[in-house]
Amino acid sequence: MVIPNLVGAGLIVIGGGIGLGQIGGKAMESIARQPEAAGKIQTAMIIIGALLEGLAFGALILGA
């Protein structure tokens, strides 16, 4: 039985979505806790989000 590519793509997007949600949620929490560090937290959040995005896109493209 062959699993179609689209199912894999869906799984990747689910995983990426969970990851991005975690990053975003935690970043929001930490900004709420320490509003004066908002800039640093945002930058770190964007970087980690970008790394995750790269992973997800890589998987999508390798699979497609």
Partner 1 sequence: METLLNDFSPGLFFMQLIILVILIVLLGKFAWKPILASLEERETGIEDALKSAENARKEMQNLTADNERLAKEARAEREAMMKEAREIRDNMIAEAKEDAKEVTANLIEKAQASIAQEKQAALAEIKKNVADLSIGIAESVIKKELSNKKDQLDLVEGILKDVTLN
Partner 2 sequence: MNIAQKTTKFLTIAVIALFTTVNFALNSNENNQGKEDGGQVNTKTEISAYIKHHLADSHDFSLFSYTSSEGERKHFGFPLPVIVWTSKGLVTFMSSAFHHNDDGHVIVEKGGLKFAKIHSKIYELDGNATNVAFDETHHATNAHKVLDFSITKSVVGILFAGLLIFLGFSKLARQYKARSIPKGLGRLLEPLVIYVRDEIARPNIGEKKYKKFMSFLLTVFFFIWILNLLGLTPLGFNVTGQIAVTACLAIITMVIYITNGSKDFWAHTLWMPGVPVILRPILAVIELVGFIVIKPFSLLVRLFANITAGHFVVMSLIALMVTMKEAFGPVASTGMSLVLSLFISVIEILVAFLQAFIFTMLSSLFIGMAVEEHEHH
Q: Which residues bind partner 1 (CB under 8 A)?
A: 61-64
53 binds, among partner 2, partner 1, none (CB under 5 to 8 A by kind): partner 2
**Closest to 44 in 3D by CA, of 60, 55, 28, 59:** 28
Give the position of tokens 């062959």: 2
CB of 51 to partner 1, least distance (A): 20
The answer to the question of residue 55 lying near partner 2 (CB under 8 A) is yes
| 1/61 with CB nearer partner 2 | 61
**Are residues 52 and 19 in contact, defined by beta-carbon separation less than 8 angstroms?**
yes
Binding residues for partner 2, how many (CB under 8 A)?
A: 12
**Closest to 32 in 3D by CA, of 22, 42, 17, 19:** 42
